[in-house]
Amino acid sequence: MSRARVLLLTALAMIAFAGNSLLCRLALKQTAIDAASFTLIRIVSGALCLWIIVQIRKGSMRKAGSWPSALALFGYAAFFSFAYLRLTAGTGALLLFGAVQATMIFWALKKGERLRLGQIAGLLLALTGLVALVFPGLSAPPLGAAVLMLGAGIAWGIYSLRGKGSGDPLGATAGNFLRAVPMVVLLTLVTWRSIQFDRAGISYAIASGALASGIGYAIWYTALPALKASGAATVQLSVPVLAAAGGIIFLGEPITLRFALASIAVLGGIALVIVERKAAAS
């Protein structure tokens, strides 16, 4: 695969991932759809899209994925939607990304990986940025919503860790989306009193599931083999930035000084961990 094609696919995947935050926030802010219905439609449309892609590739979903991974996927998607009832697109993406990376770093520590001094400094800087972002104050995001998004990040971190050994990550993702469908159906039944939706909300949810999730993952897994592990982790630093930019352009969301400083701390700290890990490996 040519370098230009890898760069193009990677850019498209990052835009798709950031688009999930924008589509969810847009739907819950500007349409009548509720968080549970958005999650249901997102997972179902994502499962259908991924099933079609796997069939085109002549793959099999019979043994792909697992129920524990599907539960982690469901937890991520549900917490994600309910958190975005009150979070801006950029703040939500930053909290999500920070929690995902922190989960994976702490798991590496538990497995015996030793951090260099620079990595420790980066981790502390990133955690300080997350704490500063949610610390009570006039410009702080709602604490309950922030906790939900951190929970979504932890769930996605667990999902990512479970999928690391998969020989066919796209097939596993398709299988996990399919297994998550009955879980979101149950969530919708539990919250049936608050169910409401409209055509625009349904459209945004389908776009989030089929385009930003289904096709987004297919593009990412196509580009991933050509990226080094450190490069794949580094490029994902762009997702919160893209989400924040999209929030400003499409949703008219403001960028506060607190968010800007927290972003520098979180993204800079994680970048330092990645760079130091690359240096240690070489």
**DSSP string of 154-175, one letter each residue:** HHHHHHHHHHTT-S-HHHHHHH
Give Cβ neighbours of residue 142 (< 8 Å, ≥ 6 apart): 86, 87
pLDDT 10s digits, 184-203: 999 999 999 999 989 999 99
Residue numbers in the chain where pLDDT is lower than 70: 59-62, 138, 165, 229-231, 279-282
3-state DSSP helix/strand/coil % of the chain, to nearest 5: 80, 0, 20
| Sequence letter at residue 146 | A
3-state SS, one letter per residue, for 3-31: HHHHHHHHHHHHHHHHHHHHHHHHHHHHC
pLDDT the model gives residue 184 = 98
In the numeric block, which tokens belong to residue 199? 């055509």
DSSP tally for the chain: helices H, then strands E: 12, 0
- Give, rounded to a whole angstrom, the gap between the first and last alpha carbons of the chain: 25
- Cα 216–chain centre separation: 11
Q: For residues 116 and 276, is the Cβ–Cβ distance under 8 A? A: yes
Element (H, E) at 230: helix 229-235
Q: Domain locations in the chain?
A: 3-281
What is the pLDDT at residue 38? 98
Residue 281: the pLDDT is 66
Task: Note whether 170 and 54 are within 8 A (CB).
Answer: yes
* Residue 34 contacts residue 196 (beta carbons within 8 Å): yes
CB 178 within 8 A of CB 108: no
How confident is the model at residue 253, as a pLDDT? 92
Q: What is the pTM of this model?
A: 0.90
Give the closest residue to 162 by CA, choosing from 216, 102, 103, 112.
103
Of residues 74, 95, 105, the one with CA closest to residue 25: 95
| pLDDT score at 280 | 65
pLDDT of residue 164: 77
